[in-house]
Amino acid sequence: MVGYDILHRPQSLFVRKLLFQIHLWVGLGIGAYMFLMGVTGSVLVFREELEHWEQPTLYPPMEDETVPAPIVDVIRSIQRAYPEHRIASVYSPTRGRPVYYGFIEQRGEFRTILAAPGGHVLGERPTGGFVRGLQDLHVNLLSGRTGRIVNGIGAALLFVLCATGALIWWPGIEAWRRNIRIDFRKSWRRLSWEIHSATGFWTVLVVAMWAVTGVYFTFPQPFRDIVWRLFPPSTHAAPQSGAANGRQPIDIDALVADARARLPEGHVAGVVLPATERGTVVVQISRSQPDHMDNTGYVHFTFDRYSGELLDTWDQLDRSTGDAILSWVVPLHFGTFGGLPLKLLWVVLGLSPPLLFATAAVMWWNRVLRRRWNQLKAA
């Protein structure tokens, strides 16, 4: 009998009624959050393009015939411009970013430095402005770590909303096709329900993905622990350089040249410099033109900073399923893996949570609040 009810009249089931109440009150509780995340997230899909527009002097276009300067020249340019800082890493221009990115550190504070394709320093990536403010609103709710924790809880509740919505959406075998279409000839009250039902059906998987990846950004280590428990991570050495014993660090040029010789058809994607006396130098070589959002084809060569000995080689094509899952978190969340068409799709889909909240509010008014309002007026 229960099986018959699930297939033909699920509205009569107590479990469905309970899930509906959970869905209703969670939706009302985080409705404003859904609206805010949907709108700001849709704008931030074009974060890089907006940064280029906001700071044109920091993002000069790279002409097709321009050959980027050797990465070691950029390292030296940054060191001359910021002699009191330690250079943590430098990354080459990519398909979506026409400039070098360098990360420098002083007393635990990191700054991002941009350098032109020709190698000269352009300046620091600003910590303020419209784009950074919008990003802080989307990630931290303008409240630092506290806001990020609230954001993570909101993302978890959004997943609950997706799960309960998917379960209560099922109307039975006879009616399910009607719930995935919108008939704009219906009355506005019926239309709000059809928009809510059809939008939820077509977007639930993407919205649930945003919710899960949103939880990751707030609680990354527990998220990684769960993924790695299901899919163990890749295991590769984490060596250290030998003791200095009065030796001077080897020239970076030699290490970059060594890495390039080991993968001659590749491109230098980045260099990670040691943070401690026993730290190593890591040269990243990409099999194709570097892509800062997809490092699948990268090979990492780790060298002793004093002797130049190759200590470890890690090819990211050999990474585990768990590592691959984690590597897709950022591209999936921000839509950075499919070019302009996917970005436009992510913008449209990003507006579905605000639309779902708006139609849910209309339905709640029609079914509950309107009746109570009329009773109050009559009284």
- pLDDT tens track for 142-194: 999 999 999 999 999 999 999 999 999 998 888 788 888 898 888 888 899 99
Q: For residues 27 and 17, what is the distance between their CA atoms, to the nearest angstrom? A: 15
Distance CA 342, CA 354 (A): 20
pLDDT (0 to 100) of residue 189? 82
Confidence of residue 237 (pLDDT cuts 50, 70, 90): low
Q: List pLDDT tens digits, range 85-111.
A: 999 999 999 877 889 999 999 988 999
| Six-digit token string for 187 | 């009355």
- DSSP-assigned states of every residue in 164-209: HHHHHH---TTTGGGGG---TTS-HHHHHHHHHHHHHHHHHHHHHH
Residues 6+ apart with CB under 8 A from 19: 164, 167, 168
Is 372's pLDDT higher than 90? no
The overall average pLDDT reported for the chain is 90
- Which token pair is 107? 């007393």
Single-letter residue type at 83:
P
The three state secondary structure string of 275-319 is CCCCCEEEEEEECCCCCCCCCCCEEEEEEECCCCCEEEEEEHHHC
Structure letter (DSSP) for residue 237: -
Tell me, what's the pLDDT at 62?
A: 61
Residues 6 or more apart whose CB falls under 8 angstroms from that of 36 comprise 137, 138
Please determine, for residue 219, whether its predicted confidence score (pLDDT) is greater than 80: yes
pLDDT at 294: 72
Share of the chain above pLDDT 90, in %: 67
In this structure, what token pair is assigned to residue 283? 């040269």
Are the C-beta atoms of residues 237 and 300 closer than 8 Å to each other? Answer: no
- Per-residue pLDDT tens over the stretch 285-339: 999 888 766 777 899 999 999 999 999 999 988 888 999 899 899 989 999 888 8
> Is the Cα torsion angle 258, 262, 264, 265 positive or negative in sign?
negative
pLDDT digit string, tens, across residues 37-87: 999 999 999 998 898 899 888 888 766 556 789 999 999 999 999 999 999
Q: How far is CA 378 from CA 101, 365, 366, in A?
A: 67, 17, 17
State pLDDT tens for residues 111-135.
Answer: 999 999 889 999 999 888 899 999 9
**By C-alpha distance, which of 76, 359, 347, 6 is closest to 190?**
359
Q: What is the C-alpha to C-alpha distance for residues 22 and 154, in angstroms, rounded to an integer?
A: 15
| Helix (H), strand (E), coil (C) string for 31-77 | HHHHHHHHHHHHHHCCHHHHHHHHCHHHCCCCCCCCCCCCHHHHHHH
Which positions ≥6 away from 317 have C-beta within 8 Å?
A: 296, 297
Instruction: Inform me whether the pLDDT recorded for 374 exceeds 60.
Output: yes
Is 257 a residue whose pLDDT tops 70? yes
**Whole-number Å distance between alpha carbons of 298 and 290:** 8
Let me know: does 378 contact 218? Beta carbons within 8 Å.
no
In this prediction, residue 173 carries a pLDDT of: 85
